[in-house]
């Protein structure tokens, strides 16, 4: 799954009023990835450019 879809899913779940227990758990997981999802230049496809765990540029 790409970051745009994950970000969209997180936003849709956040707006949803009646979430199931599974959706709450998924939203919690997506929120834990918030720093990576909100970062525009982070890419899991190019780990040589960015750290895969924190998203910081590798020098």
C-alpha 3/C-alpha 57 separation (Å) is 17
Q: pLDDT value at position 29?
A: 92
Cα distances (angstroms) measured from residue 57 to each of 29, 38, 39, 42, 49: 23, 15, 11, 9, 6
pLDDT in tens, 7-50: 889 999 999 999 999 999 999 999 888 877 777 655 555 556 66
Q: pLDDT value at position 41?
A: 57
Q: pLDDT value at position 1?
A: 67
Q: pLDDT value at position 33?
A: 84
Contact 37, 30 (CB under 8 A): yes
Say what the pTM is.
Answer: 0.60
C-alpha 4/C-alpha 17 separation (Å) is 22
């Amino acid at each position: 799954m790409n970051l745009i879809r994950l970000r969209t899913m997180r936003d849709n779940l956040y707006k949803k009023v009646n979430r199931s227990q599974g959706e709450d758990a998924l939203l919690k997981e997506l929120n834990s990835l918030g720093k990576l999802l909100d970062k525009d230049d982070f890419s899991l496809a190019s780990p040589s450019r960015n750290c895969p765990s924190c998203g910081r540029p590798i020098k």
